[in-house]
Chain A
Amino acid sequence: MAQVSLRDLVKVYGRQPAVRGIDLDIQDREFVVFVGPSGCGKSTTLRMIAGLENISHGELLIDGQMVNDLPSRQRGVAMVFQTYALYPHMTVRQNMSFGLRLAGLPKAEIEERVARAVSVLELGPYLDRRPSQLSGGQRQRVAMGRAIVREPKVFLFDEPLSNLDAKLRNQMRIEIKRLQKALNVTTIYVTHDQVEAMTLADRIVVMKDGLIAQVGTPIELYEAPANQFVAGFIGAPAMNFFAGRVEAGEHDGLVFRSNAFDAVLPTGRFARLEIGRPVVAGLRPDDVVPVGHGVPPTGGIAATGIVILSEVLGGESQILLRLGEAEVMAKMSQPRPVESDERLPLQLNTDRLHLFDAETGASLRASADAR
């Protein structure tokens, strides 16, 4: 049970900064996911917390105690690696008890802890096997078992599912979530997969270029992205963006005008809008609704798109359309076959429009101001 605090954490390799100063407070028992494109510094941050990388600048506190200079074994952290990193020459039992044996725990306690982890992870039949005799999912569970037996204050996961096939990944994702709920341990999880981040996290930390782009619950990030980067990163398929500008509309209202569509801007949703300002509008594929498919939005505007191509997923189709002079991705629920060049009537849910500053990419949402 532990709180983890990162205070202006920096990592430089040579003269190359990998992490440029991160501040974050992770609550006791919280499940926090670091997500971002490769090279954004998420793994480096995790490795600094683990004690596998020196901290170049800043402070790392676990339960209020500064642990910058403590070796990993004294930090009370345990890690599950991307490649599982099991010891190939040891059996499952030896793999799990290695750390405890090094710590000089009494034999009875080692056995008891291993037995407990084994029953949680259902590894009983495999205790005397070597890692090479296990499947990918079983290896993953042994790696988790090795972390559990140490009864750490903080669990660290470094892209633990990326070596598994898609079906197993979904299964293990649920297992990790269930395990974290059962053990109730503060968990920090790194992934580049935003679906993993959304489904697992209590809070998501989106990183970009060594900095935090936004911290929030999955819904906050989805509904109120703080900037264009987060808006584009969270959600699949990605949000559609349209470059345009804010202009004066009827009755003192404001209008967004672009080469794709024009939309009256709902009052109160945005702040800092001025006429003539160049902005980027964002609209999620869920809010581009082909007429007759899915729930029609209450507000919004009608438009017609020309089908470029469609990706059939079964339960829904993702359709790439030409809308005005822009391309836009739409989600068609209860799909029907469409042909390319077909004219598809659409309902654009512009009540859920996002606006970003064209230069800085910062969100112009009124609620985002407080952040």
Chain B
Amino acid sequence: MAIALDRHNYDAIARAEATRRKGGWIVLGVALLVSLVWLAPFYYLIVSAFKSSTEYAAGHPLALPQGLSPIVDNAIRVWTDAKLGWGLVNSALYGLVGASVAVFVAAMAAFGLTRLDFSGRTFWFMLIFSGTVFPFQMYLIPLFFTYQQIGLLNTRAGMILFYCAICVPFPVLVLRNFMAGLNREMDEAARMDGANDWRVFFSIVLPNAKGPMLALFLLQFTWIWNDLLFSTVLGNTPEIRSVMNALQVFQGAYTSAGPNIAMTGALMASIPTVLLFFILRRHFMAGLSVSA
């Protein structure tokens, strides 16, 4: 006897179920309001970037621009005044090297903390973990004097070294938890297949930690890219400074540039991180769901 699969109209039941679950207009209204508040600064940034200095001074700051062409002049002004080319190159260097090295080192540490048997494992973990507990600003003054003494102040090597180190603890925390959840029998199988610790790390654990590692890379890259405090204090010559530091020429009492130039600079400086996010977003989302 055949089994009847269509005893009910299941599409209609599904539609009714969906309607019952839908939130009311109030939820939608609140959501719209919150989005509006959140989007307002972006609106200001975009419209300002398309205004010339005179246009900006003449009209209301939130008024729509009269044309699109002023952004070209603004961009050229930003590029030359702030030496933005150097800034972008430096920030890219600090971000790529700093975040990659930090996440890789963190992955090795997490592997050691979860897979290798050595005494004081908990102590070492707590020591690294303490790096995420204290506010970063605490390191600023000692770092400045140390860097000054050993000649690392205002050097690319010094900047990279700092970013590599500061970005290690948080990824260790996340990757340790992730790796602790990876099937231990998988590495035992690899060991029986003849793999040593390094081989287990590179061929078995690392490929399976790709998602969270990419997400962490992106987070740390963005942090380094956006860092203003440390890059101002530790690397402040035009050839060394980061892009965020470079934008500071448009701030303060003695600057001749208007907010439209500053906003164009901000827009230009944020394009690379946004691009990177779009390129890696699939991994980022997957990694987030793991690290959450």
Contacts and interface: CB of A to CB of B under 8 A. Distances in A.
A150 B192 CA distance: 10
Contacts of B251: none
A319 interface: no
B199 A85 contact: no
Contacts of B208: 88-89
A202 B70 CA distance: 88
B17 interface: no
Given A88-B208, A89-B208, A83 B183 contact: yes
B120 interface: no
Contact of B186 (A50, A52, A87, A103): A87
A77 B188 CA distance: 13
Nearest to B199: A102
B199 A83 contact: no
Contact of A146 (B188, B189, B195, B207): B189
B193 interface: yes
Interface in A87-104: 87-89, 98-99, 102-103
Contacts of A50: 188, 192
A73 B188 CA distance: 11
Contact of B194 (A81, A83, A89, A102): A102
Given A87-B204, A88-B208, A102-B199, A51 B185 contact: no
Interface string A98-120: 11001100000000000000000
From A73, A87, A89, name the one whose CB has the most chain B CB atoms within 10 angstroms: A87
Contacts of A77: 192
Interface string A66-88: 00000111000111011111111
Contacts of A51: 191-192
B189 to A, nearest CB: 4
Contact of B192 (A73, A82, A84): A73
Interface of A: 50-52, 71-73, 77-79, 81-89, 98-99, 102-103, 146, 150
Given A78-B192, A79-B189, A146-B193, 17 more contacts: A52-B192, A73-B194, A77-B192, A79-B188, A83-B185, A85-B185, A85-B186, A85-B188, A85-B189, A87-B186, A87-B190, A88-B186, A88-B208, A98-B203, A102-B193, A102-B194, A146-B189
The 4 tightest CB contacts between A and B, nearest first, are A99-B193, A73-B194, A85-B185, A85-B189
